[in-house]
Amino acid sequence: MDIKDFNIELIEDFSLFFNFAKLKFDKKMKTNNIKKQNKIRNWIYKNYVSKQEYPESIMKQLNTLCDKEFILFLESCSEFIVSNGGALEQQINKTCEEFPENVKKAFIHIFEREYYVNNDFKLSDDVLEIIVNSTAAYEEKLILFDAKYSEDKKFDTFCF
């Protein structure tokens, strides 16, 4: 099955399923034992696939795969995400292609987070500092100049 038939969100889902199974089954993922392959597939279906509402066409495609092909398909999804990035990373790279890599990385960190607490950013004199990553040893910030904000009452967030 060619993963190019799937949208990036599905590939991300399947990549996660593979990584969760890898954590649980570790070295058994590469097994040629048909019973173990079936056990792995059943576990993935029970814990992840069945809890999603995928289109019928997707489920038909998945169900045509034998257990080994299914596991290899999930592995190829994982490899695709590792080499190409997820949907967010691809969109930021496309939208911000002229920005330096460190700025793209900062945007990815910011947009991966679903919400902010007040301590994550500071606005003074139209300079917005967004703390992207912080440890005892260092702090990464994204600094936006000439920043203005308006309260978005619909989402109860601030837009800069």
Farthest CA pair distance, the chain: 65
Map out the domains of the chain as residue ranges: 3-85, 99-159
**Which of the 8 DSSP states describes residue 48?**
T
Round to whole Å and give the CA distance between 15 and 57: 19
What is the spatial distance between Cα 11 and Cα 74, in angstroms, rounded to a whole number? 8
pLDDT tens-digit profile, the chain (160 residues): 777 778 888 888 999 999 999 999 987 778 888 999 999 999 999 999 999 899 898 899 899 999 999 999 999 998 888 887 777 777 777 777 788 888 877 777 777 665 444 446 677 787 877 776 677 888 877 787 887 665 555 544 455 4
pTM confidence score? 0.61
Q: Rounded distance, CA 8 to CA 88, Å?
A: 10
